[in-house]
Amino acid sequence: MSQRSKLIMKLAQSQRSTEGRKIKCWEVVRNEIPGKEEVDNHQKKFDRSHLGTAENRNEIFDDFKENVTNNTECPKKDVNGPLINSSVSTYKDQSNFLQAENNNLSNTCIERNSVAQHLDDFPGSSENADPFANSDDSDKDPDYLLSSDITNSTHSVTEKVQQKPEEQQHTEPKKTRKRKRNTSGWKKNAAKIARNSGKGYVSTSISRKVMKAREMKRPCTETCKLKCSSKITTESRKLIFENYWALGDIQRQRDYLSSCMAPIKPKYQYHRNETKRRDNNAFHFTINGTPIRVCKLFFKSTLDITDRPIRTVIDKKSQVGGMVLTDLRGKHGKHRKLDHGIKDGIRRHINSIPRIESHYTRARSSCEYTEGGKSLRDLHRDYVKECTENNIPYGNYLMYHHIFTHEYNISFFRPKKDQCSICATYANANQNEQESLKDEFEKHLSEKNLSRTEKQSDKQKISDNYILACFDLQAVMPCPKGETSTFYYKSKLNVLNFTVYELRQNEKGDQCYCYVWDETQGQRGANEIGSCLFKYIEQKSKTNLDGAIEILLYSDNCVGQQKNRYILSMYIYALLTFQNIKSITHKFLIVGHTQNEGDNAHSLIERQVKRSLKSGPIFLPAEYVGLIKGAKKTGNPYLVTEMSFKDFFQSKATE
């Protein structure tokens, strides 16, 4: 067979029988390949119309043997004829299916001697033998498939195998404001599942009656005319009982009951006018493929059912086809559905609401927060007003509330501070759980008290050459900011404020340093925090050029901002740059108890911003600078430094 021929022979199921061995051949011809004329010649030889006589079949087989044996166009490879080898060995082993598939014969060069040797082993390889004598080429053969069918089925199986991993990829459900209902955990549905599975359950009615689990009952007595107990053993009955209740679905159980019932006519029957008597039914169980008739009592006691399921199956069985109709309760399909266009309009309006992440709990929560000032009712009123102006239909408040709470995780209230997970876990635990958590909780409280004692001890060391400061990043301040709906739905530019609260002696008063920038100048990572701390250290080094200054810093445990190697590298760089800085010490507060004096400054700034909004909206980031400067009414005012892009440096460069 030539190199460019794309003819693939599939030798299928080979088995011994009284009629002899069968060999079935299929051909798969690819379209749009080079050497079309040569392919057409082989296609003609293997056309089904040419396989009718033994003479034609011998001619085809000899031609096939000659072409394969003389195929020396491709370089020899030590593959030892994989196609013929696999075919011969599988044929000799008489396996169920012979896979001899090769998409390109040019890629499997067959040595001449090996081919000749293997072809001699085939039945019909002699000159006078007919290899297709016992084959069935009729269209009536149930195992016969056209080449197109084989190709399509092969591709479909391949596509299913390739698509299966994608379908099995598990994606985590999106977390929303309200948790999604789990109907399988409802008491009503749990009782229904237990009832259909034959397990014990508590009734959902007012009586709260405890229902026992199903148990196989005693069979009929020996006086039974059908002698059911002698036909079916106890083990078989138990297996039938377990398999029936293992179905767990009432519709499948009804189908099974229907398959075990058959209407019969009595031998003697007296007809009465307008009689309401039902037709008689015979009951049987199938054991090893053989139906065995049993009496009704034996049938019910084996499955532990009453007459009610049997009557239900008889009533629901259709007159045409004898199929048991499904339960249509709650499936009328006439539920009122809201237009998808209205739902999409609600989603577009919700997506237009500017949102920000929580500053304090963004590491543990995916909840987003609005800037406040509007309730869900206010948002719906704005949505209705917008739709009315554009003359488009709108949804009511219930639909707006449903989409807002079940498809989004948006809250109107921002958490003010971290909540300690250890303390909250211990407070919400029951008595037994608190006993197991007691040691860890007491250790946590001890560490919290030690950290506060350490901080109080450090406060006693404050002097001109010993500086103690706490620093933190304030929650973002959006701009523009206003009470009207026009500003509420506009895209926001966040303004960031990094505060370093320096503790001083009572006569001097504490001093707060504020470093302000917006998102166009920088983000809120280690580079920005390190640059602000470096500028603060630089300012402190200029206040006392003669003495050796020791700086002690307190902060929370935010890894992305200050608890990382880049900040430590910046400290080393500052010590090498400023000779009057003797040491820099950084202490981290206990997780969950990071409250410090800087929170007071943040509270005053937020109060000043809220007071300013009463007189008018905030349009520019520069307006926040003036508000921060005027936030402290008594004592030392806040020292504000406006940071720009050129003031931030890469912390990696200091490593």
Q: What whole-number distance in Å separates Cα of residue 12 and Cα of residue 363? A: 61
> In the CATH hierarchy, which fold is given to the domain comprising 461-654?
Nucleotidyltransferase; domain 5 (3.30.420)
- According to the model, what pLDDT value does residue 371 have? 66
Where along the chain do its domains lie? 8-152, 214-266+279-316, 340-411, 461-654
The length of the chain in residues reads 655
- 415 vs 365, 524, 611, CA distance in Å? 11, 19, 20
Name the percent of the chain lying above pLDDT 70. Answer: 69
Say what the pLDDT of residue 290 is.
Answer: 92
Is residue 50 pLDDT above 90, yes or no?
A: no
pLDDT band at 175 (very low <50, low <70, confident <90, very high): confident
Structure tokens at 277: 């008597």
What is the Cα–Cα distance from 231 to 293, expressed in whole angstroms?
9
Q: Is the pLDDT of residue 117 over 90?
A: no
What's phi and psi for 8, nearest 5 deg?
-115, 120
Mean pLDDT of the chain: 75
Dihedral Cα 407, 412, 417, 421, nearest 10 deg:
-30
pLDDT for residue 635: 84
Residues facing 291 on adjacent strands: 286
Structural contact between residues 526 and 562, judged by C-beta atoms closer than 8 angstroms: yes
Calpha distance 608→597 (Å, rounded): 18
**pLDDT tens digit string along 563-583?**
888 999 999 999 999 989 999
What tokens appear for 225 in the block?
A: 């005319």
Q: Which residues of 238-277 are buried (b: 16+ CB within 10 A; e: fewer)?
A: eebbeebbebeeeeebbbbbbebbeeeeeeeeeeeeeeee
- Least confident window among 35-44, 288-297, 455-464, 504-513: 35-44
Q: Mean pLDDT over residues 347-359, rounded? A: 80
Tell me which residue of 573, 334, 361, 597 sits closest to 471, measured CA to CA. 597
User: Using alpha carbons only, what angle is made at residue 81 by residues 28 and 115, rounded to the nearest 5 degrees?
Assistant: 95
d(CA 388, CA 394): 8
Question: Above pLDDT 90, what percent of the chain?
Answer: 33
What DSSP assignment string belongs to 266-314? -SS----TT--PPPEEEEEEEETTEEEEE-HHHHHHHHT--HHHHHHHH
Q: What is residue 594's three-state secondary structure?
A: coil
> What pLDDT is attached to residue 278?
76
Query: What's the gap between Cα 142 and its chain centre?
Result: 43
**Residue 84 is inside which H or E element, if any?**
helix 82-93
Closest CA to 266 of 248, 255, 278, 284: 278
Contact 44, 27 (CB under 8 A): no
- 531 with 647: CB under 8 angstroms? yes
- pLDDT score at 362: 54
Q: Which amino acid is at 626?
A: G
Q: Is the pLDDT of residue 419 over 80?
A: no
CB atoms within 10 A of CB 22: 17
Residue 429 has which token pair? 């635990």
Greater pLDDT, 345 or 593 = 345
Contacts of 571 (CB under 8 A, 6+ apart): 584, 586
pLDDT value at residue 390: 92
What is 334-345 written as a DSSP string?
------HHHHHH
* pLDDT, mean of residues 288-304: 94
Looking at residue 178, its amino acid is: K
Q: What is the strand order of the sheet 368-369 is part of?
A: 356-357, 368-369, 410-411
Q: Could you tell me which residues come within 8 angstroms of residue 652 by beta carbon, excluding any fewer than 6 positions away? A: 566
pLDDT of residue 75: 41
44 — phi, psi (to 5°)?
-65, -40
* 589 neighbors 596 (Cβ within 8 angstroms): yes
Residue 491 has a CB neighbour count (10 Å cut-off) of 8
Please check the confidence at residue 122 and state whether its pLDDT lies above 60.
no
User: What confidence tens digit (pLDDT) does each residue in 500-546 have?
Assistant: 999 987 767 889 999 999 999 998 889 999 999 999 999 999 887 77
- Confirm if 643 and 515 have CB atoms less than 8 A apart: yes
Coil, strand or helix: which one is 589? coil
CA distance 86 to 91: 8
Phi and psi at residue 529, in whole multiples of 5°? Answer: -65, -45
Q: Is 485 exposed, middle or buried (0-12, 13-18, 19+ CB in 10 A)?
A: middle
Looking at the DSSP bridge assignments, the partners of residue 264 are: 280
User: For residue 136, which of 29, 17, 6, 44 has the smallest C-alpha distance?
Assistant: 17
SS3 137: coil
Hey, CA dihedral for 256, 257, 263, 268, is it positive or negative?
A: positive
Query: Residue 171: its pLDDT value, please?
Result: 52
How much is the average pLDDT of 284-311?
Answer: 94
Q: How many CB atoms lie within 10 A of CB 9?
A: 18
How do residues 382-401 score in pLDDT, each as one tens digit?
999 999 999 999 999 999 99
Q: Which of 197, 74, 65, 84 is nearest to 131 (CA)?
A: 65
3-state class (DSSP) for residue 94: coil
Numbers of helices and strands, H then E, in the chain: 21, 17
* Helix (H) or strand (E) run with residue 261 in it: strand 261-264
Beta carbons within 10 angstroms of residue 484's beta carbon:
9
Query: CA 144, CA 603: separation in Å to the nearest integer?
Result: 83
**Structure tokens given for 190:** 């749990």
Give dist(CA 528, CA 520) in Å, integer. Answer: 13
Q: Which residues contact 527 (CB under 8 A, 6 or more apart)?
A: 566, 648, 649, 650, 651
Q: How far apart are CA 609 and CA 497, in angstroms?
A: 13
* Cα–Cα distance measured from residue 564 to residue 561, given in angstroms and rounded to the nearest whole number: 7
**Side-chain half-sphere exposure of 455, counting CA atoms within 13 A:** 21
Angstrom distance (rounded) from CA 93 to CA 555: 77
Instruction: Give the CA dihedral 252, 255, 257, 263, nearest 10 degrees.
Output: 170
